[in-house]
A = this chain, B = another copy of it.
């Protein structure tokens, strides 16, 4: 293998100066989106003041805070995850003391989700930092570039 960096090659720390070739991956738009999402995830984890609040949990807290009478099924659909995944997420947020459940209006079999006061404080604290972090993600973008980028992102896969 050549040790000369080339398109699609990145340095692998364990490879004594050799580079890793990503093959066709570097030609796939889907993989470019995946790598951008990895950087978003890493930046979130570096920015969150509450390490228990990962990106999926942050989305769950925000959605619970923004909707009355939300059930676990609603949450699963909103997050695009399985009901079992939503149940595990709610359990974790309850164990943290951030979310409570109560009988839902109009359906005594269903329970609706709500933030606890501690959950509200956690959500607000993370939101303050994540808004700054989110702006930093595209700090190099001109305003019209950001607008274009967001519009194109919306069109991916549609």
Binding site for B on A (CB under 8 A): 1, 10, 12-15, 20-25, 28-40, 42-44, 55, 59, 62-63, 65-71, 73-74, 77-78, 80, 127, 130-131, 133-134, 137-138, 140-141, 145-146, 148-150, 152-158
Contacts and interface: CB of A to CB of B under 8 A. Distances in A.
Contacts of A67: 1, 20-21
A108 B98 CA distance: 51
Nearest to A40: B30
Contacts of A34: 37, 40, 55, 59
A44 B30 contact: yes
A135 B15 CA distance: 33
A154 B36 CA distance: 7
Contacts of A137: 29-30, 156-157
Given A12-B77, A30-B133, 5 more contacts: A10-B78, A12-B74, A24-B62, A29-B146, A145-B152
20 contacts: A1-B68, A12-B78, A13-B77, A20-B67, A20-B70, A21-B66, A23-B62, A24-B127, A25-B59, A28-B131, A29-B138, A29-B149, A30-B137, A33-B153, A36-B154, A39-B157, A40-B156, A137-B157, A149-B152, A152-B152
Nearest to A1: B68
A14 B74 contact: yes
A33 B22 contact: no
A81 B135 CA distance: 26
